Amino acid sequence: MADTWVGATAKQIARAVRRGDTSATQVVADHLDYLTSTDPVVAAFRTVRAAEAAAEAEKVDDQTDMGSLPLAGVPIAVKENTPVAGLPTWHGSAGARQAVAEEDHELVRRLRGAGAVVIGTTRMSEMGLWGVTDDDSATTRNPWALDRTPGGSSGGSAAAVAAGLVPIAHANDGLGSIRIPAACCGLIGLKPGRGVLPVNLGADDWFGLVEHGVLATTVADAALGHAVLAGRTPQPLSQPGRLRIAVSLRSPVAGASADEANRAAVSNATRLLAECGHDTLTADPVYPTSLGLRGLATWFAAGYRDAEAAKVDRRSLQKRSRRLIAAGGVAWRRGLVREQDRTEFRERSLGFFVEHGVDLLLTPVLTGPPLRAAAWHRRGWLSNVASQVRNAPFAAPWNITGFPALTLPVGVRPDGLPAAVQLVGPPGTELLLLAVAGQLELAAPWRRHAPGFPRPN
């Protein structure tokens, strides 16, 4: 029996609990004890359910059919914009906080039904609008380098997993909010394609752009979490056959190109794919010149519609969010956000895979290192928008298309921060993306947690 279960994978924990090698009560106690000492360093959690989680772990231990619980006793965190019964739904700040939820979101029910124990909710940027995670109460920090952001909007979930506070965490992604934090923190992060998982965020799903998923340290854990969220029985990933994979460094945003370290990450991943038996070729998706402007309008208008639907008092929001929402109202009223534009880009992107005869697309995720951890909420909205668009332009197009996309680590940058790439596939390729990521993990295993984590108690 391990001295502590902190740092173990979700699969290892669930297997041990099902076999009786440990108890859910012990596993949860280990993680709560570690969280108490370590979360003040990274500020990943908004709310910790210590007493409730301990009681729920006991209920897992009392289950008579433990074999039916794929996440038996696994401590998990839920992003704070997703209802957890008995907790306020914070949406990233006190100003955006909503009432105490009377019942769990469907995905939280599925996690609990699989035996997971929700130990708390993780911090995010206000209303999920920003690619950094901070508010008046705290700045969430990247365990790889505490002066760097873990990204956003699912920054708290990413920091929690990278620091070993939980083995996996729930997240969601409207313009990169799973994949950007995964890249910042050296994690696996899958954004499923449209319609694979229920959304139901309560106010708005950002014109169909938002998808739920998990952040994990291994492909096996990511696949397990995805299966549970999708309501499927977890199965081993099948080995993919020989694939044709397009490789592109082209940025969707003019003037926002990948730096040498991110280009090297793509080159390294390309080499590994070839060693795994796949064919690679250089081919660039077509990003229309209007995509950037339409994408910005959609981002802003999503914030506006969220605020309207949730009846948020805008005066209580951060200044940067108020300005973005105001711009979104203008974009919405002027008809700058059109389903037709998203449909045309989706069809053009489908054509890319067909015309080039490729199965998947490989791109960077970030253009440079993660942004500095700072009080971004006190800076101007244009400064926030410009910095974050330049830092992470590669994720958003695949929300607009609704295609599945995955971030995976590929070593370490020269500055000591994690290197990462993005794999994108046409609709229905979630398991294929995970299978290819599994091949790369086997060929070049990555560090599962940030250096120095989990920290000794």
Instruction: With 0.95 as the threshold, say if the pTM is over it.
Output: yes
**Position 299 pLDDT exceeds 80:** yes
State both tokens at 269: 């991943």
Complete DSSP assignment for 215-260: EESSHHHHHHHHHHHTT----PPPPP---EEEE----SSTT----H
Instruction: Report CA-CA distances (Å) from 97 to 100, 319, 378.
Output: 9, 16, 19
Q: Report how far apart the first and last C-alpha atoms of the chain are (Å, whole number).
A: 18
**Which one from 157, 177, 248, 251 is the annotated catalytic residue?**
177
Q: Of the candidates 155, 162, 136, 145, which has an alpha carbon nearest to the alpha carbon of residue 376?
A: 136
Distance CA 412, CA 419 (A): 5
How many CB atoms are located within 10 Å of the residue 73 CB? 28
Question: Is 153 designated active site?
Answer: yes
162-221 pLDDT tens trace: 999 999 999 999 999 999 999 999 999 999 999 999 886 545 589 999 999 999 999 999
Measured N-to-C along each axis, helices 430-443 and 219-229 cross at an angle, to the nearest 10 degrees, of 160
Cα 110 off chain centre by: 18
User: What was the pLDDT predicted at 202?
Assistant: 47
How many CB atoms are located within 10 Å of the residue 236 CB? 9
Domains detected in the chain: 10-290+334-443 (3.90.1300.10)
Distance CA 58, CA 20 (A): 13
Instruction: Report CA-CA distances (Å) from 429 to 56, 192, 279.
Output: 35, 9, 18
**Which one from 93, 125, 153, 154 is the annotated catalytic residue?**
153
At 289, the pLDDT band (50, 70, 90 cuts) reads confident
Residue type, 131: G
**Position 51 pLDDT exceeds 50:** yes
**Which one from 79, 93, 157, 321 is the annotated catalytic residue?**
79
231-280 pLDDT tens trace: 999 999 999 999 999 999 999 999 999 999 999 999 999 999 999 999 99
User: What was the pLDDT predicted at 200?
Assistant: 65
Question: Is 290 designated active site?
Answer: no
User: What was the pLDDT predicted at 456?
Assistant: 84
23-39 pLDDT tens trace: 999 999 999 999 999 99
Q: Mean of the pLDDT values across residues 356-370?
A: 98
User: What was the pLDDT predicted at 173?
Assistant: 97
State both tokens at 242: 């020989």
**Position 106 pLDDT exceeds 60:** yes
